[in-house]
Amino acid sequence: MNVFESERIRNVVLLGHGGAGKTTLVEAMAHVTGVTTRQGKITDGNTISDFDKEETKRLFSVSTTVIPIMWEGIKINFLDTPGYFDFVGEVEEALDVADAAIIVINGKSGVEVGTQKAWDFCEKHDLPRIIFVTNMDDDNASYRQIVEDLQGLYGKKIAPFHLPIRENERFVGFVNVVKMKGRRFLSLSDYEECEIPDYSMKNLELCREALMESVAETSEEYMDRYFAGEEFTYDEISIALRTHVMDGSIVPVLMGAGVNGQGTTMLLQAVEKYFASPEKLELSGTNAVTGDIFEANYQDANPLSVKVWKTLVDPFIGKYSYVKVCSGVLRPDSALYNANKEAEEKVAKLYVMRGKEAIEVSALRSGDIGAIPKLTVTNTGDTLSTKAVPVVFDRPAISKPYTYMSYKAKNKGDEDKIAGALGKLMEEDLTLKSVVDKENRQSLLYGIGDQQLEVVVSKLFNRYKVEVELAKPKIAFRETIKGKVKVQGKHKKQSGGHGQYGDVVIEFEPSGDLEKPYVFEEKIVGGVVPRNYFPAVEKGIQESVLKGPLAGYPVVGLKATLVFGSYHAVDSSEMAFKMATILAVKKAFSEPDAKPVLLEPIASLKVSVPDRFTGDIMGDLNKRRGRVLGMNPDHAGNQVIEADIPMSELIGYSTDLRSMTGGIGDFEYEFTRYEQAPSDVQAKEIAARAAEE
């Protein structure tokens, strides 16, 4: 593959709802431009993008794929991202290196939640965008409705560039609203000029008016001329569109049919014309030694700096670190420095990835995207540069995983294999996290949603030949007492020779501090328990609170005061007093006056949803024993509901929230404190732990 100058490169991320047609569209562009001789189909499992076994099996994308396509002397790096929300980490990685976006909308399904999330991503990352309505060959596709819905959401910046032409209920061409010319499809995306049908004139006037309004909005002069009834020339329209699509103030709407390849030529033309090449953009990092700002700006003349934005670890094709060159020129046999790890890396070869195909290249210039194989210490988010000018760029903002399940090996002895395999999957997916919960003797797997965790289990089996079982996780309860009791603990044993004798009387009561397991005091008068046995008594309490008598959970908030006891000059020992204390703790928790209780962890929850869902969300939170504390608007036009809720009630919440809101709701939480669990929850948990023991 040729080496492309920065001005001949475009980096474009494909965004949209799951099933909108992103992969089919990029497959069609690859076919139209001659990358493939036959257009692959998702249903056949032979597309360039969806090469992973999980993708071919499930018929949707689970990871971002790079598909470079050459068009009219430029190289367009298309980043085909998953549309399902569980795989949002892949989208966020791609957004970190994209310079522009195409939001794909299914003409039949219309504007969906994923469309709006795609738009929000573009706003957050300040990306210029084009909207492409695909599946226009479907009888139920409604381009006009989609444009109206988009304008209702995003206003006058939505500019329809196309209008469909249908004959005998078939999609046969389109009207170019900018040039006011008809286009009839020949084969694939080729077309010839044709007359604009009379029946299209009414809709054309509406589209033209919307387009002219978008142009008028770009300057006061144009606005005055627009209201004065003046017409804009084609050159004025073209220059205004080019300038303001690049800065994001105008968003063109194009159309086509990915399955037939229709409309792809116009989309490629639009990408070349309306999206900026990297060298026109700005990017800065930090000099890791001096702390000064490093202006990369995708200039070949600047010192080399490379951002690692994705990692692929595959047992068959090896490990590849996907990179974007931010400044300088990257060549094979380069010695690079990872300032994040303070380690050197060697680049033996350099590749451009097209799906799973690695194409060797002699160099990557500023702004280009490629891959380096077999880096040893470098991970996603790291920066590679020269040791003379060590650079660090900001890491991509990746969503925090809140959904979790416990997991264990199906086959004994596979634990080490599973740990190694999970380590490789976590290298690939930054939203995946494995945590060992020693307290409850369980391993926890965190992700964005249940579907992602299912895919991970499947990958472990198919890639690494290990099987794991997912189960509902155990919740980290605590035990304490609410009342005050005085109990005696006596440990006495005689078996010939020296016996064992320890006798303590301890007052137990709440300490008032649930952050600490216990507080120990002594009020011994007259030496009934010698001072040298006090540490043994405290040791007994220390061991007892690790696993409480109620259900085996750690004890917190306990105050223990040694007030009386007795000893034997020969048989007493530290061990005897420790055992006597352990007996006293157990006895205290069995006393009704001690009012022993289970405490459950409480989380502070924030749920962000549009206004229309707030009633349903608050009703659901009440069912989950949540206490709604308030509701505040956020900057994105949503309501943020704040509530305290037991952690046990958040298991499966991700799936339920998506179901209630059609996928548009988001949530986050963090542990805040422990509170007494209701009696029915306590009884159920104590019975479950007893059965387990």
- For 190-239, the DSSP string reads -EEEEPPPGGGHHHHHHHHHHHHHHHHTT-HHHHHHHHTTPPPPHHHHHH
**Residue 264 and residue 256 in contact, taking contact as beta carbons nearer than 8 Å:** yes
Surface-to-core class of residue 356, CB atoms within 10 Å of its CB (0-12 exposed, 13-18 middle, 19+ buried): middle
CATH superfamily for 6-278 is P-loop containing nucleotide triphosphate hydrolases (3.40.50.300)
pLDDT of residue 692 exceeding 90, the answer is no
CA dihedral (568, 571, 573, 578) positive or negative:
negative
**Residue 230 and residue 181: Cα distance in Å, rounded?**
21
599-692: which CATH architecture?
2-Layer Sandwich (3.30)
Asked if the domains at 6-278 and 403-471 fall in one CATH topology, the answer is: no
Q: What is the pLDDT of residue 427?
A: 94
Q: Exposure pattern of 501-532 as b/e (b: 16+ CB <10 Å)?
A: bbbbbbbbbbbeebeebbbbebebeeeebeee
CA distance 375 to 379: 9
| C-alpha to C-alpha distance for 430 and 322, rounded to whole angstroms | 14
- Write down the mean pLDDT value for the chain: 93
pLDDT, residue 217, reads: 84
Q: Name the burial class of residue 341, with classes exposed (0-12), middle (13-18) and buried (19+) by CB atoms within 10 angstroms of its CB.
A: middle
Beta strands 369-373; 318-327: pairing state: antiparallel
| CA–CA distance, 231 with 219 (Å, rounded to integer) | 15
Instruction: Supply the DSSP symbol for 301.
Output: T
User: How many Å separate Cα 286 from the centre of its chain?
Assistant: 26
Contact 183, 191 (CB under 8 A): yes
pLDDT of residue 286: 96
* Vertex 15: Cα angle to 433 and 55 (nearest 5): 55
Q: Is the pTM of this model over 0.75?
A: yes
Each residue's pLDDT tens digit, 488-543: 999 998 766 678 999 999 999 999 999 999 999 999 888 899 999 999 999 999 99
CATH assignment of 403-471, among 3.30.70.870, 3.30.70.360, 3.40.718.10, 1.10.3720.10? 3.30.70.870
Q: Give the helix/strand (H/E) hosting 40.
A: none
- Assess if CATH 3.40.50.300 describes domain 284-392: no
Of 44-48, 60-64, 450-454, 457-461, where does mean pLDDT reach its minimum? 44-48
As its CATH architecture, domain 479-594 has 2-Layer Sandwich (3.30)
Ranking 229-238, 452-461, 535-544 by mean pLDDT, the lowest is: 229-238
Using pLDDT thresholds of 50, 70 and 90, give the confidence band for residue 203: confident
Tell me the domain boundaries of the chain. 6-278, 284-392, 403-471, 479-594, 599-692
Quick: pLDDT tens for 69-117: 999 999 999 999 999 999 999 999 999 999 999 999 999 999 999 999 9
* Rounded Cα gap, residues 386 and 285, in angstroms: 14
Statement: residue 638 has pLDDT above 70 = yes
Long-range Cβ contacts of 634-637 (<8 Å, 24+ apart): 634/608, 636/120, 636/608, 637/610
